[in-house]
Amino acid sequence: METGVPFQNIISVLTLIGLGGLLGGYTTYLLDRKKERDFKVLEQKERRYRSCLLYMDAFFEPKNIKYLSSRQPDIDGAKDVIEYLKMEYHEMILYASKSVILAVKVFLENPTRDNFLKTILVMSGTNATGC
């Protein structure tokens, strides 16, 4: 009798559907994990960038140091601000793009308003030429 062949086909199809479902579920799981990891990296970048910008601003506007004192009560002047900015720079190396890291490094070596602006532009995704 031919009843064994259709039964085997049905079992094969059901197995493929089950295996496909497992592979699809696993792929979805991996994609969700990647999205979650990418989101956490983005959060870290935002934190580091905001913090750097606050320190840079306080460097030029000493009256704004008082806003940093809730985070670091030992900041007294521009020298302390630069030291904390160096710390942020080292933490951002894990998450920031090469261009941002280099821009912050340039600012640390030569803290001018022009370098501050260039760093902001690089962090926002544009450069001074608008490209």
Q: Give residue-wise pLDDT tens across range 57-92.
A: 988 888 888 777 677 778 888 888 899 899 989 988
Distance CA 7, CA 13 (A): 10
Cα separations (Å) of 60 from 7, 31, 78, 97, 127? 80, 44, 8, 25, 22
Q: Are 68 and 78 in contact (CB under 8 A)?
A: no
| pLDDT at residue 130 greater than cutoff 60 | no
Amino acid of residue 78? A
pLDDT digits (tens, 9 = 90+) for 23-57: 677 778 888 898 998 888 888 888 888 888 989 99
pTM to 2 decimal places: 0.66
